[in-house]
Amino acid sequence: AESTVHEVDVVVIGAGQAGLSAAYHLRRRGFEPYRGFVVLDADSAPGGAWAHRSPSLRMATVHGFHDLPDAELPEPDPDAPAREVVPGYFAAYEARHALPVVRPVRVRAVTSLPDGRLRIASDAGTWVARALINATGTWTRPFLPHYPGHFAGRQLHYADYRGPESFAGQRVVVVGGGASAIQVLSELGAVAETVWVTRSEPVVHEGPFTPEFGRAAVARVEERVRLGLPVRSVVSVTGLGPSVAYRRAQALGVLQRRPMFDRLTEHGVAWDDRELPVDAIVWATGFRAETTHLAPLGLREAGGGIRVEGTRAAADPRIHLVGYGPSASTIGANRAGRAAVNEIVKLLGDPAERTV
Ligand code: FAD
């Protein structure tokens, strides 16, 4: 397959919310499926990160889901698992808009060609494009902080958490101050003894989530990205909202937060000389942006992040990052898809006006 080279105008990497939104707008602006653009997705079925989430995550406990452009998600059964509802909705969307998603295709490296185009090498062939929309999300890069010591019990990252059943009757430490920690606590709290630890005092936003509040939070994430700093989640600046999961955890009385432990021991965790034996540790410590395949382009700043202006990589106008930083939410991903396509039309010329 390495020998096949497909030439297109635009390659989108990733078929989650951000990639599908970008694909929708590429079509709408006149890029031809397959000949003009493709979406390369590493997964073998539709759904993006949603297909990999815990079966215990129900639509009622999802943090808030925004529709794809021009396609309302029918009112879901609140008890239905998000990992089934959202992938089903994405699959129907891909089919209805005849989006050229090619899968499974894992992109390994993007490099610059001497003729000014981009070479996108994958485990299933090579594409050459004039512009790239990166929509690879964060799910494939779970972040685990390092703490000294060794724990002999069960440890897992939130990405591998599959519901509370296997923890019944145990004492479990849940690490992290974000929405995923709250989800885990709201589930484990009913069957296990939980110990919640966070690095800093969690910020709880009790008031209504107004558009002004949302915009201010997004602006703070944007500011970091503009400076080329590592991206933070939107929740890290909004604080925890009064979600269904939060209310549930509150009702279970599992939100007594303790400061972060300073080391792991064979049978538990320890603060100074105080050791607490535990059966398991769930690290709900977040994710990083999946951009490893972009490394050959040298876009990363000294601060560790890729500096973007809107969605465009500041160092390379051919590259857009959607679902990145301020646009890493279902609503942000939607807007970013449209913004990226508008700029790509300016860069490449309007396909509707090009003579064949
Ligand atoms: P994804 O859905 O992750 O899609 C990325 C796609 O890219 C995947 O299909 C993957 O296979 C593919 N891919 C990755 N690497 C490669 C590669 N090298 N080559 C080819 N394909 C590749 N937002 C909300 O609005 N509501 C929520 O409740 C919510 N909960 C969240 C919970 C967690 C734990 C996290 C991490 C995020 C959550 N978000 C939530 C924010 C989330 O970022 C967005 O909602 C959105 O779903 C992300 O879409 P995406 O398209 O950017 O990424």
Q: Is 48 in the pocket of ligand 1 (CB under 6 A)?
A: yes
Residue 312 has pLDDT above 60, yes or no: yes
26 lines ligand 1 (CB under 6 A): no
Q: Predicted ipTM?
A: 0.95
73 lines ligand 1 (CB under 6 A): no
Give the number of other CB atoms < 10 A from CB of residue 306: 25
Q: Is 134 in the pocket of ligand 1 (CB under 6 A)?
A: no
The pLDDT of 327-346, averaged and rounded, is 88
Q: Classify residue 201 by burial, with Cβ atoms within 10 Å: 0-12, 13-18, 19+.
A: exposed
Average pLDDT over residues 253-263: 96
How far is the C-alpha of 293 from the C-alpha of 110, rounded, in Å?
6
User: Cα(330) to centroid of ligand 1, in Å?
Assistant: 9
Cβ neighbours of residue 208 under 8 Å, at least 6 residues apart? none
Any atom of ligand 1 within 6 Å of the Cβ of 138: yes
pLDDT over 60 at 70, yes or no: yes
Rounded to whole angstroms, the Cα distance separating 11 from 135 reads 10
d(CA 104, CA 86): 19
Average pLDDT, the chain: 91
Q: Which amino acid is at 191?
A: V
What confidence tens digit (pLDDT) does each residue in 201-251 have?
Answer: 887 776 666 667 677 777 777 777 777 776 666 656 566 767 889 999 999
CA nearest ligand 1 atom 53, residue: 137
Ligand 1 pocket test target in 61, 139, 294 with most atoms within 8 Å of CB: 139
Position 4 scores a pLDDT of 80
Q: Is the distance from the beta carbon of residue 140 to the nearest atom of ligand 1 less than 6 Å?
A: yes
Q: How far apart are CA 171 and CA 182, in angstroms?
A: 16
Which helix (H) or strand (E) segment holds residue 154: the answer is strand 154-157
Report the alpha-carbon distance of residue 356 to residue 353 in Å, rounded.
9
Best CA proximity match to 340, nearest among 4, 50, 39: 39
